[in-house]
Amino acid sequence: MTIYDVPRLLRAGSSGLYRLDAYPDNSRMRRLCVIRHTRFFRVDVAGRLTRRAFLKACARGMHFPGWFGQNWDALSDCLTDLTWAPANAYLVVLEGAQGFAAAAPPNFRRALKIFEDAALAWSQRGVRFQVVVSSDEARNPLTLLREL
């Protein structure tokens, strides 16, 4: 998926994980989300090479409540209960994830599974929850994600 596919994703895409082969234009994405009544979260995970650093970046980027426990179960709980950020739809951009993917493949896969499970849970409630994982590397390690 390229940055030009993002409007189509917001218009017609289903819940799930997507790969973006570029760094997104966050101001443009925010504007598109406003138009589409979608809550936008930008999570900067560039340089976050450990599970703990990744979780902290998620907490900061998604404005998790103070009870967030800095572990995988707490991430799942927060992603499936966004009562502090009510919306009709959600778009989460995990920006710069290739470093975490390369440094800690099992943790990266676990994180993606948690985001994917959250997308499924929201979809079952009739709420679109899309996660875009961006990378600008020529050899993108994020091949396990679907294209739009």
- Which domains, and CATH codes, for the chain? 3-134 (3.30.370.10)
**pTM as predicted:** 0.85
Q: Which two tokens stand for residue 96?
A: 């710069």
pLDDT tens profile 90-145: 999 998 888 888 889 999 999 999 999 999 999 999 999 999 888 765 555 554 45
Find out whether 105 and 98 touch, Cβ atoms under 8 Å. no
pLDDT tens profile 34-92: 677 789 999 999 888 899 999 999 999 999 999 999 999 999 999 999 999 999 999 99
Report which of residues 7 and 62 the model is more confident about.
62
Q: Which two tokens stand for residue 6?
A: 């993002």
CA distance 147 to 47: 24
CA distance 49 to 102: 8
Beta bridge partners of 93: 42, 132
